[in-house]
Amino acid sequence: MKKLLFYLLLLPGIARTQTISVQYEMTLQLGKKAETLPRQLVMQINNIVIDFNYRFSQNKSECIFAGQRTKDPSIPPLYTGFELGVNVYKDLNTSFLYRTSNKLPNAVSRDFFPAWKWEIQSDETTEILGYTCRKAVGTDESGNTATVWYTYDIAVPDGPGVYCGLRGLILQVETDDFIQKAGSITIDPDIKTDIQMPAAQEYLTGDEFDKLKKRP
């Protein structure tokens, strides 16, 4: 109940009556692992861009896998597993997060939002698509870490995928494995979109969903 009240208090009335659409682009990060991999494989991994379409309206959001592409078509494409497509839906009214996969058409997971603990880096800002963004570093209950950039100018406590809980929309996520950044933003102030949460006769837990997704 406390978590639900937190999200509702963060959300101003104007954000509930408009539709916000964001196209996010994800690139994979190798870090020091690149030193141990064949040069051709590193080139293929660095050439990948994974697209997601995000929408927020009436206290609900969806982040839908929109395809994988390459920056340079002359480099042979690489199968990453992202082609299977994981979609994330969030309901800020209930604090439920849902996931579906193109690989598992009949499987839907439902869990409460991750309990991110954010540390605001108030002295660091950057600009993304004309929006001034502030930096926050977070850890969830499973020990996953992320650095994000969010903007007060879009007062929605949400972001792509499992990232949420700040006083503005998250426009960039950085982890050890990837960077996910907003490539375009559209705000329709007078349009309400009815975003539906996935239905299932029986919901899976996140752990059950992950185990199914890893099966060949």
Q: Where are the domains of the chain?
A: 2-114+177-214
Radius of gyration of the chain (CA): 18
The answer to whether the pTM exceeds 0.85 is yes
Residue 94: φ, ψ to 5°: -115, -10
Average pLDDT of the chain is 89
3-state secondary structure of 210: helix
Instruction: Specify the amino acid at residue 194.
Output: D
Q: Higher confidence at residue 26 or residue 2?
A: 26
Neighbours of 144 (CB within 10 A): 13
Mean pLDDT within 78-96: 83
Model confidence at 7: pLDDT above 50: no
- Alpha-carbon distance of 160 to 142, in angstroms, equals 18
Per-residue burial over 44-58, b if 16 or more Cβ lie within 10 Å, else e, is bbbbbebbbbbbbbb
Strand partners, 96: 91, 112
Mean pLDDT within 80-107: 87
Measured between its terminal Cα atoms, the distance across the chain in Å is 39
> What does the pLDDT read at residue 3?
47
- Alpha-carbon distance of 82 to 12, in angstroms, equals 34
